[in-house]
Amino acid sequence: MLDDLKYIHQIDSSGALQIAADVAKQLRHKFEPLALGSEVHNVVYAAMGGSALAARLSTSWPKYKVPFEIITDYHLPAYVGEKTLVIAASYSGNTEETISAFREALDKKAELVVIASGGKLEELAHQHNVPFIKLPTASQPRFAALYCFKALIDILESVGFVQANEMDKELELAAQHLEESIKGWLVDVPTAQNAAKQLALELAGTSPVVYSGSVLWPAAYKWKISFNENAKNVAWANSYPEFCHNEFIGWASHPVEKPYSIVDLHSSFDNDRIVKRFEIVDRLLSGKRPAAHAVIAEGNTLLEQLVWTVVFGDFVSLYVGILNGVDPTPVDLVEKLKAELNN
């Protein structure tokens, strides 16, 4: 089925696989430089869903010189004030939680930046003279995650929280590595040579549970999002070592025949103790849960491995969506929920 190009294009009528094929260019996008005002002592990134993923990725990669917190809620922490940089990010610009956080940041007189493609947040940014980064158009927020990531890095460079020259070089190398990797996952690459199609066939018809160490945790969480939205599939994610303190025990009472699949994401940057935990858990849970599918992140740097793992997961989930017979792009239930909230 995954080598039937006519069938695939019929199901993927919105072209999600082609969007995924072009994603590396997002790491090269040049945003307009920002002129930010007062000195800031900490950063709060307010966003939901795919827009929040950019911040999750960044927390695994740069070495922040100041505290950085991600808020996925209507309200900002009490400590936010004039020395806080609040980044309000929403691909559509109409995410109500992020708009609420934006208004609170105004009230608290925080330093503000908006990342959006338009919508209400763009209007508010212009109305209040708030620096605004306009995202290029994409069909869904999850397909613009690396645009948001690049915009965030540009903001952090502008306030001196990360080193510009080093970041730009590493971003370009990551883009090159990603482009080469994607060639092996494209829709016209037969299943026999296509690792993304092969794993999709293994995971189809199951509820995937994705595990990683802390360095790849943002990627593991993105796998969960991708299965939810692209494949219309329930999925879960967790990270080591936290998994070993609670969820690990839960597998003891679940027979192997339950409809789960396990994906373990591994990085060469994983702590040695994390590596050992994975080995011990596999042994102790043998026969108590399905055998794990190991995905070894490819790349010379952590950034290369992060984006490689994220995009590989995108392709896997898109192919699972095809196997599920669903168009990966629309998220009709989310739109219905928003419509009812607005009534």
Active site residue 222: no
**Active-site entry in 29, 83, 120, 338:** 338
Among the ranges given (15-19, 248-252, 262-266, 279-283), the one the predictor scored with the smallest mean pLDDT? 248-252
Q: Please count the other Cβ atoms lying within 10 Å of the Cβ belonging to residue 158.
A: 17
The Cα 194–Cα 2 span in angstroms is: 10
**Active-site entry in 104, 157, 229, 304:** 229
User: pLDDT tens digits for 61-105?
Assistant: 776 778 999 999 999 999 999 999 999 999 999 999 999 999 999
Edge-first strand order for the sheet with 292-296 is: 236-239, 207-212, 260-266, 292-296
Counts of helices then strands in the chain (DSSP H, E): 13, 9
Taken in order of first residue, the domains within the chain and their CATH numbers are 5-12+177-324 (3.40.50.10490), 37-158 (3.40.50.10490)
- Residue-by-residue DSSP string for 42-76: EEEEE--HHHHHHHHHHHHSS--SS-EEEE-SSS-
Q: How far is CA 264 from CA 136, 162, 270, 272, 283, in A?
A: 33, 30, 12, 16, 14
pTM of the model: 0.94
The Cα 106–Cα 144 span in angstroms is: 26
Which positions ≥6 away from 171 have C-beta within 8 Å?
Answer: 27, 28, 150, 153, 303
Active site residue 229: yes
User: pLDDT tens digits for 293-342?
Assistant: 999 999 999 999 999 999 999 999 999 999 999 999 988 888 888 888 88
Lookup: tokens for 61 = 């990669």
Active site residue 279: no
Helix (H, G, I), strand (E, B) or coil at 291: coil
**Active-site entry in 30, 245, 257, 340:** 245
